[in-house]
Every structure is written in C-alpha cells, then in structure tokens.
Structure 1
Amino acid sequence: MIKAIATDMDGTFLNSNNTYDKARFEAIYKQLVDQNIKFIVASGNQYAQLKSFFPEKDGTITYISENGAIIGQSGQLQSIASFPHEFIQEVLDDLIYRTNNNEFILCGVKSAYLLKAASSHFKNFAKKYYYKLAEVDTLNPLPDDTLVKIALDVGIEKAELIVDQLNKKYAHQLLAVSSGHGSIDITIPEINKGSTLAKLLNKWSIQPNELLAFGDANNDLEMLALTKRSYAMQNSTSNKVWQTAQYQAPSNDESGVLSVIESYLFE
C-alpha cells in the first residue's frame, strides 16, 4: 500500500514548458487527501519557487527544497541545514577569482542571489527557477542570510568534470552533484533529498517501501534508492538514475508522474 509520494520537479513532475496538467493533478490530489497519502515535493529548487506551483495547498503538501536542506510544512519552515559563512566565502572567492566565473547562484533562505556581472542569458535562466532572486554588485561580504546551496550552470559537456574537481578539492566540506542538463548543485555533505525524506518517513511511521518516488537526475539518487517503488523518468539522461530506480515512468512531457500515480490509485 502506498502511504507517501515524493517527486522531483524539473524534468520529472514539470514538463518542458515548466508547468503540469493542473486539472488532472487536482483530481489525483483529491484522491491523495481522501486516502491520507502524503504528497512530498523534493527538489533542488527554492522553497518559495516550489510553493508557487501549488497555491492554496500549503496545509497538506510537504516541501523538501534545496536538495534536502530545507523542509517546509503547513506553510512554515520546519528545519534548515546551512553552510558556515566563512566556508561559503572561500568557495565563492575560488569560483569568481580563480575561474573567472560569474555564472552561479547563491541560495539563501530569504532569497537567492546572483551577480549583476552575470550574463543576460544566465539571468534569464535563473529567473526561471528562482521565485525570490536578488542581483547584487558583490558577494564579498556575503548577504545577511542563512546560506544553503550554490547552483552553477556549466553545460552538459563540463558538468561531470567540474563535479569531480569540486568534490576532490573540498572533500567532506561540500558535495557537488549534477542536477541535470548541465547544472550543478553544491550542497551540504550528508544532506540530500533521500536523507531528509527518510527522516520524514520515520517521523510519520511510514516504511520506505510504502513510498512512491520519481526522479530524473543525480541529485535524486538517494531518494530513488530508498524504496522499491522508485521510477526513473523516460527522459532521464543519467545512467546512475537508470541503475538506481526500479522502474521507468513515461517522460515528463507525457505527465509520467501523474500516469504512474493513477495506476496505483485506481488499480
């Protein structure tokens, strides 16, 4: 029996137009509420951004945002895991001055931040994924915020190399992971979607295999490994996702998540 559903957003629940079949979801969501099945949005995205996709549902949807660093329930932040400011400053100085790279986003609880010097292309990319976003002249000193993640967009051909370089240089201090389509998330070690989701399941007395999980990228691996009812999206390009997930769902552009949920609800 399914007691909880966890889904990634970009490339998984959302289609290529960054939306979803709302009428179809509403019918499914009513069934989930009626059957007391938890619905968990687990994403690398910003908490405010995730909530914007599901207006008036704060009371019943649980949000795992910033790859597990933030939990939001009942319209409130329930827990936050953050980086020390001194370490974030070191990493940012390295990215800016050693690599001459301005194409990154610093993710905080109050807002996300990017440099005014970033390209217009990157700014447009950032606005697509961050509901609260501030442009700043400099990130030294850092903004007065609790800092949870750094996001980079480096291109598919460079992503794995840069992930390896960051993880070797800052071993045990950060974890760099590909979040799909050339994007990289720099996250807190041992904090991920899977570890945070496991804590929630334990709190709710839900067994891992009573969970239905969906993902398409490497930042979904720990979540997909939690349950035997895990689904890789057909559009995933990650071999690790295919190796970890137990099943395949139709693509995000075919409302694959909704199709699989319906098969469980109406079987």
Structure 2
Amino acid sequence: MSIKLIATDMDGTFLNDDHTYNHSLFKKVFHQLERHNIYFVAASGSSFPRLQREFKDYVNKMGFISQNGSVIHLGNQLFKSFSINQESLARVIHVLDRFYGPNDINQLVISTSEKSYVDQGMSAHDFAIVKIFYEQVERVPDIRTIFRQRPNENFTKLSINFANHISLKKVATTLDGYLPPSLIMENSGFNTDLIGNAVATKQNALSILQDHFNLQANEIVTFGDNENDLGMLAMTEQSYAMKNAQPIIKMQAAHTTQNDNNHDGVLQTINTLIKNNH
C-alpha cells in the first residue's frame, strides 16, 4: 500500500512537551519522504507563522493546516481560509463575558490567517505563552472592540485558554446553546477551546488537500493525540494515535505509535512505514 501524504498534529504529537522536535532525525526522514514523493503536512491548532518558524528550512516543500483547519497553506502560499462572520464573533465575546470573569480566562486570542491579536492588558507571562503558539501577535487597546476597530479584517479563529479550575466539558455544555450555528468549538488541548467557521476542521482541511492531490484515503497517514484530531484520524485506515494519547483517542485510531511524543513517536513510525511500504 503506497503512501502519498502524511499529516500530523503538532503539540502532544509531533512535538515533545517542550514544543521542540528532533531536527537531525527529521532531516533524515524528510529526505526519505522527498525520495518517495510523500507530501508532509503539519496540522495544528496554532497559527501558520508559528509553523513557518518550526519548519523554516522546509516550508516550500510541505503543506500546513493551521488554526484547526481554518487556514491551509501550500508552502508559503495561502491555499484556502475560512473566515468568521464578525457579528458571530462579537456574539461569542458577549456570551463569554456573560458566563466567565477575568479570573476564568487566561488568554483570549483572535486571529486572521497571518496575524493574531490579544488585549494590551494580558500579563507578560500569558503573552509569552501566546507567542509560542501564534508567533505574529499584536496587542490592541481592547480586544473586545477589535471587530469595530478593524471591520475589513478576515478573522478566522478565536482561541480561549481557560484557567485550570474551569472544566472544558462544562464550557461546552454552557456555550453550545449560545454559539451561532455558523461556528464550531473544538478542544485543542492545554485547557483551550478554539472557535471558528463550522466547516473549518482538520478533517475538512485534509479532505480539501486529498481532493487537490487526487489521493485515495488509504494513501494518507495521519497522527494525532487529541479530540480535535479525531476527524482526521477517522479518514484513513493508516491512522495513528500517539502512545501518550487518552484511551478514547486510541480507540478511534487504527493504530497506536510504539513511542510517545517525547521519544520521536511520529518520526520513528514514519521510518518504519517507509521501510515496509517502499
């Protein structure tokens, strides 16, 4: 069975817990992928500028699904993005303010395909964390009025990192009845929910790339560790949940990696797949 595309989640999957990866091993694996004409796709809840930084030496040779499927790049070129109606975004902010106070939310980030915005009142600690995942971040005087201040921006995603005392399951129960039907909310790990266009999922983004490259489902390999990866994992019989993933994720995937994300689980599995399939 030939492999033509490999798509992997980033944090908790491809990246270790320090948000880094084995660059020397990746260089060797990527060379093998090129040799066998296998296209590599990074699929993440974070932003494209962050992924550009992570793969700066390989950007033009791979694809990127960022913001949980809201933005798709082929190399440096924007291929497709799904914007959010600004009225809907403003409604989400209103609902958040109704149910949650400043001690309940650590980070509120609103993004376009290339840039992210946070409130100028965000602490230096939280701003440093946001920079890890979003890279191109600008502070604005009041994040809650950004839609009025920038009416021509194409916003693509809203990210809410809740404090540890907030249960994401309770958040889902609370907000489901209030979110406009044009939006979807997904758990992206780290007690973070991402809200975006209802069709902007990793699964849909990967389906778009599948059609673009005219691939069969069994020619795609996927890796993931979290709820927002489930749709992507369900697309192919060559799906891998990480050894460090929760049991429910492992149950949905066809396989589980032998190594976890801190021991090159994705790269070791790709190595094995290339040896066995080519």
Q: Report the TM-score, using the length of structure 2 for normalisation.
A: 0.90
CA 1:124/1:97 → structure 2, altered by over 3 Å: closer, same or farther?
Answer: farther
* Pairwise CA RMSD: 1.7
**Which residue number corresponds to residue 109 of structure 2?**
105
**Which residue number corresponds to residue 234 of structure 1?**
243
**Which residue number corresponds to residue 2 of structure 1?**
3
SS in 2 for 1:223: helix
CA 1:2/1:141 → structure 2, altered by over 3 Å: closer, same or farther?
Answer: closer
2: CA distance, partners of 1:214 / 1:155: 28
Matches for 1:40-189 after TM superposition, within 5 Å = 40-96=41-97, 98-101=99-102, 103-139=107-143, 140-142=145-147, 143=150, 144-155=152-163, 158-170=167-179, 172-189=181-198
The CA deviation string for residues 151-181 of structure 1, in whole angstroms up to 9 with x for no partner, is: 1111465112112322222152321111112
Q: How many residues align?
A: 266
Conserved in 2, the CA contact under 8 Å of 1:163 and 1:178? no
Higher mean C-alpha displacement, 196-205 vs 148-157: 148-157
Q: 1:254 aligns with which of 243, 263, 269?
A: 263
Conserved in 1, the CA contact under 8 Å of 2:88 and 2:180? no
Conserved in 2, the CA contact under 8 Å of 1:110 and 1:146? no
SS in 2 for 1:253: helix
Q: Give 1:105 shift.
A: 0.8
SS in 2 for 1:10: coil
1: CA distance, partners of 2:45 / 2:146: 25
Q: Report the TM-score, using the length of structure 1 for normalisation.
A: 0.94
Q: Which runs of 5 or more structure 2 residues have no equivalent in the other structure?
A: none
2: CA distance, partners of 1:11 / 1:162: 22
Q: Give 1:22 shift.
A: 0.5
Conserved in 2, the CA contact under 8 Å of 1:221 and 1:240? no
SS in 2 for 1:39: strand
Q: Give 1:98 shift.
A: 4.8
